[in-house]
Amino acid sequence: MIKPHTRSVAHLLNGAPIGNLTKTSGRTAKDEVGRVYRITSIEEIEKRNKIVQMARDKRHFSFSHMRHIQEITRSLSNKLCGYVLLLQPYIAFKTNTLVREGRAGSPLTIDDLAEIWGVSKRTARSVIDDLEAHSIVFNTGGVLSMNERYHFRKRAGKGEVDALIKTYSTTLKKFRLSAADLGFVYKMLPNVHYETNLICADPFADPEDIRFLSDKELGQLVGMSETKTKEVLGRLRKAGIIGEWIDVDDKRKKFTALNPFVFYRKQGEPDGMLLALFANKRMAA
């Protein structure tokens, strides 16, 4: 039989309150032996748990510098931009070498690149030549690496965090889209809004100042006609890599957002609205 004083010692050691709690302020209370406890709501505990889970999230992602990659989007075709995007899962942590498993492993070969891009070895060599010519990829003794100016996998510097967007590798690899369609997506990355993940004219504007882009303007962004743009957007929407919503008060207004489980600027989980909008398009990461 456990004696009463033994139970009291056990309570003191495990930190549990003894007896009833008496509120002393809006956020604190005392137990019957005078120890002070902070009152925490269930909602706050759940929020903290979610943050901890995200901190432990081992999903691999690469960073893209939104301002710098405009040098790529302005100079390369949609298809070549798609090939650049398809390399993101293979960037090694810290070294930026292109390797088979992303974090470690052997450097990608032409055979590997041909398989990743779904092209012949001859085409793969031609693509690499183009990417080298634009200083997007470097070739050092046969070992390929990504130029950190555009994409990298390491801790982001404090001064550049707001201009970066994450690409989640596992999720990206699950999409079966042509390189040209993925290049269309890549060319939208410099226009992803921080708070909302919407494609807009100024990705650094306050939410209330967002100016959404029409299909015609999106086409101008990627160098395509409005008709072709609508066709591509339809395929991207069907694949779940983007979401589109129409303003019920003005059907001429359309909002286009990137799937936050593939591309996301903010730290942590997407907000509740984005989670709800893309819940059926999450695709296990």
**136 and 104 in a common domain:** yes
**84 and 222 in a common domain:** yes
* Structure tokens, 169: 């590798």
**222 and 156 in a common domain:** yes
**14 and 132 in a common domain:** no
**18 and 91 in a common domain:** no
**90 and 196 in a common domain:** yes
- What is the percentage of the chain residues whose pLDDT exceeds 90? 59
Cross-strand bridge partners of residue 150:
none
Q: Which tens digit of pLDDT belongs to each residue from 116-149?
A: 999 999 999 999 999 999 999 999 999 999 999 9
Query: How many domains, in total, are found in the chain?
Result: 2
Q: Give the mean pLDDT of 20-40.
A: 77
**141 and 17 in a common domain:** no
- Which pLDDT score is estimated for 207? 84
- Which pLDDT score is estimated for 281? 57
Examine the pLDDT at 47 and tell me if it is beyond 70: no
**98 and 128 in a common domain:** yes
Select from 55, 75, 91 the last residue of a domain: 55
**90 and 173 in a common domain:** yes
- Which pLDDT score is estimated for 244? 84
- Which pLDDT score is estimated for 59? 57
**35 and 148 in a common domain:** no
**178 and 141 in a common domain:** yes
**98 and 39 in a common domain:** no
Examine the pLDDT at 82 and tell me if it is beyond 60: yes
Structural domain containing residue 19: 4-55
- pTM of the model as a whole: 0.76
* Structure tokens, 270: 């997407």
Q: Which tens digit of pLDDT belongs to each residue from 228-253?
A: 999 999 999 999 999 988 777 776 67
- Which pLDDT score is estimated for 241? 94
Q: Which tens digit of pLDDT belongs to each residue from 96-117?
A: 999 987 555 799 999 999 999 9
pLDDT tier at 36 (50, 70, 90 boundaries)? confident
